[in-house]
Chain A
Amino acid sequence: MSDLFEKLRATKAWKSVFRSGSFSHNLGKSMAIFNNFFLHILPVKSRVDSIRFTATFYLGFISFCLFLILALTGIYLMLYYHPSVPKAYWDMKDLQFVVSSGVFLRNLHRWSAHAMVAVVFLHMLRVFYAGAYRPPKQFNWALGVILLIITLFLSYTGYLLPWDQLAYWAVNVGANMADAAPFIGKKMKFLLLGGNTIGENTLLRFYVLHCLILPFVASIIIGIHFWRVRKDGGIQPLFSNKKKND
C-alpha cells in the first residue's frame, strides 16, 4: 500500500500539483507540509504538547470551520433572498415551505452563527487563560479581538434580515444603544440605519454589511491571524514554559 503511494508521489502529475515528492526521508515529509498552501499553516515540526487537544480544544479551528459553513449556507440563502421590505419576510416563508431543504439550510446557518459566537468567545477565554496575549503575540491578540467584534457584528446584521418583529425590535434596541453613546451617538445611529428609523435603507445596509463587507474583512483578518499564529506561535501551555524555566 505504502509502495503504491510512493510510486504515485513519484509521478509528474503529483509533483506538479503538490510540489513535493517522496516521503521516504524527513526532508520529503517536511517539504510536503512546507509547499502545501493548506498545510503550511502548520510548522514542519510540532511538539506533541502543542497539538494536544487540551492545549487549544481546537476552538480556533472550530470557529474557522463554522465560518466556512456560514459562508456556504449563506451563499445558498442569498439565492432565495431579496433585501427589500415587501419581499424579505416572504422569502423566509418560501424557504420554509417550498425551497428544497430550505429549512435545513436556514437552520444550519442560524445555529452555526449562534455556535460561532459561543466558540469564538471560548477561544478568546482559552487564549486569555493560556496567557497567549503576551509578547510576541500582542498584535495577534488585538486581531483576535477585532475578529470577535466582527463576529458579533455579523450576528447582529444577520438578525435583521428575516424582517420579522423579533428582528425589527432587536435592531431597534441595538440602534438605540449606539444612540446612547456620548457626542457621536446620533451620528452613529444615523450611519447604522441609513436614516432615522429602521426601513428599506437599513435592510439594504445590513444586507451589504452581512453578505459582503464583513465577511470580506473577516476573511482577510483571519488570514493574517493565521499567519501570525504561524509566525509568533500559538498557545504554548504554561506548564511547558515552566518546565523550560526550571
Chain B
Amino acid sequence: MSLKQPKDLSIIFAFTSIVFLIVSAISPAKDYFSEWRHFQNKFNKLVKEQPRRIKPVDIGIKQMWIQDLDRVDRCTSCHLGVTNYQLVDMPEPFQPHPKMFHDPEEFGCTVCHHGQGIATTVDESVGEVEFWDDPMLPQYFIEASCGVCHKDRDVQDAPILTEGRQLIQQYNCVSCHNLPGYTPEFVPGLDGIGKKTTREWLVRWLKDPREVQPDTKMPDFNLTEKEVQILADFLMTFNRYPEEIQFEPLPDALKEEWPDEDLVDLGKTRVREARCISCHLINGKGGHLATEIGQIASAVTPIWIYNYIRNPKGLHPGVPMPEYGFTKEEAIAVSAYILTEFRDWDLEEDTTSISHTPAPDFYRQGLKLFNNYNCLGCHELSAEGVGRNMGPDLTYIGSKPQTELEFGEADIEETRPSYVYHKIKDPRQFLPNSRMPDFGFSDSQIRAVTTALLSQRKEEIPDKYIVHKTNNQEQYKPQGEFGRIVRKYACFTCHVILDSGYLLATDLSLEGSRVNHQWLRDYFKIPYTLRPILTERMPNLFMKESEMKFTADYINVVFLDDDIDSVNIQLDDPETIQQGKKLLHEIYGCHACHQVNGKGGYVGPPLNETAKRSKPGWIYSWIKNPQKYRPDTIDPNQGLTDTEAKQITAYIMSLEKSE
C-alpha cells in the first residue's frame, strides 16, 4: 500500500471526520429517542383525552431515592400513574398500583417487586438481565417480599405467606434445614417403637405414610421395597423403654379380644368428657391438633395404649397431650374403649411378617438408611451410631444467586422461584442423590411454601423497618407449681398467657381480673362453652382437687390488671340498675346478640352467665372498649360514657340474682 502525498491524506482526513461526526451524533440521538421519553410523551397525549384535568408530566427521568434501603428506583419514569387513582382506565404502564400498603416514596418499588430499578429501559428493568440476580418477582410470590421485614409467623394482609410459614412450621422443615424463626415440632420418638407397634404396620407406614393416615405430616421418602423391609427390621429392634419409665404390664381386663362391656361404657363416657375429639380426628370428625386416632387400635399394641393413657409425657417426652388425671380403673376403661372401637375394620390380616427372616446385616444397613434420610432430624432414637444429616441451609434461599442453583437435567424455567417451587413439587428431580421426601402438598400449598421460603433473604434493612413482635421480648415461662400444672395439662396448646402459647381458646393473661374465683374452680370440674353457638372444646382434665384450688388461687392473684380491679361501681342501687336496664334494652339493644333472662340472640355469651362468671370491673372495662382486650372481637365499641358503662354493669351484675 502506498499513498501519494498529500492529496490522498486529505481524503482520508475528510472521510474520517465525517465518520466521527456521525458517530458523535448517534449517542445524543439515542438519548432523544429513548423509551422513557416515548412513554412520557404518550402519557401526556393520553392525559389530554381524559375527562378530568390531570397535570401532564415534565419530561425527564423520574426517580425515588430510598436512602435507608440504599436503592434508587426509576420505575416511575414510565409507570407514571402509580399513585394516581383517577387513571384506572389508562393502559399499562400508566395504571395506578392496586391497594398499596406502603408509601412508595418511603419504600420504592424494587424492595418488593425486585428487578433492576435503576434501569431506564423496559428490557433492562423488568426483563431478564444477565448478571442481575433479582429479576422481577412473579406476581404470585409477591408476598415473599412482605416477609423480608415482617418476620412474624402471621402477617396480616399476606395470607399466602402466612399459610406458607405455618406449613413450614407444621411440617417441621427445620428438622432438616436451618431456618431461623421456626422451632422444632413435637414428633414421637422411636425408643420403644418395637413395643408400640407391629412390624406389619411399620412396613405399611414406611411404604407410604399418607396411604395409612391421609392427614399425617410424615412425608413419603419413596423407599424401595428392600429399604422398607430393612428399616422395619432395624426399628423393630428398639423394643425397650429407658429404665426410668415405669412401663406397666397389661392389665388382665385388656388381655381379652373383647373387653367387658361395662368397662367399655365407662371408657366411652370418660373419652367424651375428656373431649379427645377436640384435638384428635376420629373417623372424619374432630380437631387437627393431634394425630388421627380412629384406627389407632390397629396400629399400636394394647399394652402401649394403656401405658400411654397412664403416662403420655413419659413415653413421648414433649408431647402436647395433657396428662389426664384418670384413676387406674378409668385408664383401663379408656384403653378398653379405644381397643374395642378405634380399629381399622377393613384391614386384612398380613401374615408375611410372621415367616419373615431379616437380612444378615440388616442392622448395619438399617442404621445407614436411618442416617442417610436424617430420620433423627424428627424422631428421637437412642442408639449407638445415629446422627443428624441435615439438608442445605435455607436461611438465605430467597436471595441465593440463580447461577448457584443446581437445575440438573430438569426442563423448567431457570429462575429462583421456579427452582424452589419445583423442588418442593418433585424433590428428587434435579439430582439423582437427592434425599428430600415428598410432602404431598397441593399446588396452592407448594406456592405458599415457596412464597415463605423466598422471603428468606439476605438484605441489609434498618431495624426500624423490621416488624417482629414475638422475638422482641422474653417468652413467658411459668415456673414452680403453676408451671408444672401448665405443662402437665398442656394449657399452652390452646391458651395464651402473656404472649406464650397458641390462641385457639382464650387469652388468660388477665383472667384473674376477669372471672370469679369460685366460678373458675367450678369450671375446672365441669367445663362448658361460654358462647351458645360454639362447639364445646375445653376438656375435663380430671385435675386433682388440690391442683384445681391451686390453679384458681394462682390465677386469681397473678393474672390481674389494676386498671380493671380499681373500678368502683355501686352495684346495689335500684336507680342505677334501672338506668342500666333501660340503656341495655332500649338504647344499645345488647340483647340482639346476647341472651338476657332467656331471650335474645345467640352470638355473644348469655348475660346471666356473665353475671355469675365475671367481675364487675371487667364488665365495665370490656363494654367501654372491647377491642382493647380482644382486637378481633365483633362486640361493638358503643362509645359509652363512664356513667352509662357503670349503669349497664350494675344491671348485668343484678341479672345473677334475678334468675
Docked Cα-Cα span, A158 to B171, in Å, equals: 53
Q: Chain A interface mostly helix, strand, loop or mixed?
A: helix
Docked Cα-Cα span, A52 to B72, in Å, equals: 55
Contact B5 A97 (CB under 8 A): no
> Which residue in B30, B70, B120 is a CB contact (below 8 Å) of A98?
B120
Docked Cα-Cα span, A97 to B63, in Å, equals: 12
Docked Cα-Cα span, A54 to B27, in Å, equals: 34
Q: Which residues of chain A in 92-115 are interfacial with respect to chain B, using CB atoms and an 8 Å cutoff? A: 93-94, 96-98, 100-101, 103-105
Please give, as numbers and ranges, the residues of chain B lying within 8 Å of A51 by CB-CB distance: 5
Cβ distance A63 to chain B, nearest Cβ, rounded Å: 16
Contact B124 A48 (CB under 8 A): no
Contact A101 B28 (CB under 8 A): yes
Contacts A90-B118, A104-B26, A104-B27: A97 and B124 contacting too (C-beta < 8 A)? Answer: yes
Q: Which residues of chain B in 18-47 are interfacial with respect to chain A, using CB atoms and an 8 Å cutoff? A: 26-28, 30-31
Contact B74 A98 (CB under 8 A): yes
| Identity of the chain B residue whose Cβ is nearest the Cβ of A94 in the assembled complex | B118
> Which residue in B3, B31, B119 is a CB contact (below 8 Å) of A53?
B3
Q: Which residues of chain A in 68-118 are interfacial with respect to chain B, using CB atoms and an 8 Å cutoff? A: 86, 90, 93-94, 96-98, 100-101, 103-105
Contact A93 B118 (CB under 8 A): yes
Report which residue of B2, B27, B63, B121 has the largest number of chain A beta carbons within 10 angstroms of its beta carbon: B27
Contact B74 A52 (CB under 8 A): no
> Which residue in B1, B27, B119 is a CB contact (below 8 Å) of A97?
B119
Q: Could you say which interface size class chain B belongs to?
A: 20 to 34
| Identity of the chain B residue whose Cβ is nearest the Cβ of A104 in the assembled complex | B27
Cβ distance B296 to chain A, nearest Cβ, rounded Å: 58
Contacts A103-B27, A104-B26, A104-B27: A97 and B2 contacting too (C-beta < 8 A)? Answer: no
Contact A48 B5 (CB under 8 A): yes
Docked Cα-Cα span, A90 to B3, in Å, equals: 48
Docked Cα-Cα span, A54 to B3, in Å, equals: 9
Contact B28 A53 (CB under 8 A): no
- Decide yes or no whether B61 CB sits under 8 A from chain A: yes
User: What is the 8 Å Cβ interface bit string for chain B, positions 57-72, against chain A (1 contact, 0 not)?
Assistant: 0000101000000101
Contacts A48-B5, A51-B5, A52-B2: A97 and B28 contacting too (C-beta < 8 A)? Answer: no
Docked Cα-Cα span, A222 to B303, in Å, equals: 98
Docked Cα-Cα span, A96 to B34, in Å, equals: 13
| Identity of the chain A residue whose Cβ is nearest the Cβ of B31 in the assembled complex | A100
| Identity of the chain A residue whose Cβ is nearest the Cβ of B72 in the assembled complex | A90
Please give, as numbers and ranges, the residues of chain A lying within 8 Å of B31 by CB-CB distance: 100-101
Report which residue of B2, B28, B31, B74 has the largest number of chain A beta carbons within 10 angstroms of its beta carbon: B31
Contact A97 B3 (CB under 8 A): no
Docked Cα-Cα span, A10 to B458, in Å, equals: 76
Contact B74 A97 (CB under 8 A): yes
Please give, as numbers and ranges, the residues of chain B lying within 8 Å of A104 by CB-CB distance: 26-27, 30
Please give, as numbers and ranges, the residues of chain B lying within 8 Å of A48 by CB-CB distance: 5
Docked Cα-Cα span, A53 to B74, in Å, equals: 51
Cβ distance B132 to chain A, nearest Cβ, rounded Å: 10
Docked Cα-Cα span, A96 to B118, in Å, equals: 10
Cβ distance B1 to chain A, nearest Cβ, rounded Å: 6
Docked Cα-Cα span, A86 to B67, in Å, equals: 13
Please give, as numbers and ranges, the residues of chain A lying within 8 Å of B119 by CB-CB distance: 93, 96-97
Docked Cα-Cα span, A52 to B118, in Å, equals: 51
Contact A98 B61 (CB under 8 A): yes
Docked Cα-Cα span, A105 to B24, in Å, equals: 10
Contact A97 B120 (CB under 8 A): yes
User: What is the 8 Å Cβ interface bit string for chain B, positions 76-92, against chain A (1 contact, 0 not)?
Assistant: 00000000000000000
Docked Cα-Cα span, A110 to B120, in Å, equals: 22
Contact A53 B1 (CB under 8 A): yes
Please give, as numbers and ranges, the residues of chain B lying within 8 Å of A52 by CB-CB distance: 2-3
Contact B61 A54 (CB under 8 A): no
> Which residue in A53, A86, A101, A164 is a CB contact (below 8 Å) of B27?
A101
Contact B28 A100 (CB under 8 A): yes
| Identity of the chain B residue whose Cβ is nearest the Cβ of A107 in the assembled complex | B27
Cβ distance B69 to chain A, nearest Cβ, rounded Å: 13
Q: What 3 A-B pairs have minimum CB-CB distances, sorted nearest first?
A: A104-B27, A101-B27, A97-B120
Apart from A97-B119, A101-B28, list 13 A-B contacts with CB within 8 A. Answer: A51-B5, A52-B2, A90-B118, A93-B118, A96-B119, A97-B120, A98-B61, A101-B31, A104-B27, A104-B30, A105-B27, A164-B131, A165-B131
26 A-B pairs with CB atoms under 8 Å apart are A48-B5, A52-B2, A52-B3, A53-B1, A53-B2, A86-B70, A90-B72, A90-B118, A93-B119, A94-B118, A97-B74, A97-B119, A97-B124, A98-B61, A98-B63, A98-B120, A100-B31, A101-B27, A101-B28, A101-B31, A103-B27, A104-B26, A104-B27, A104-B30, A164-B131, A165-B131
Residues of B at under 8 Å CB distance from A? Answer: 1-3, 5, 26-28, 30-31, 61, 63, 70, 72, 74, 118-121, 124, 131
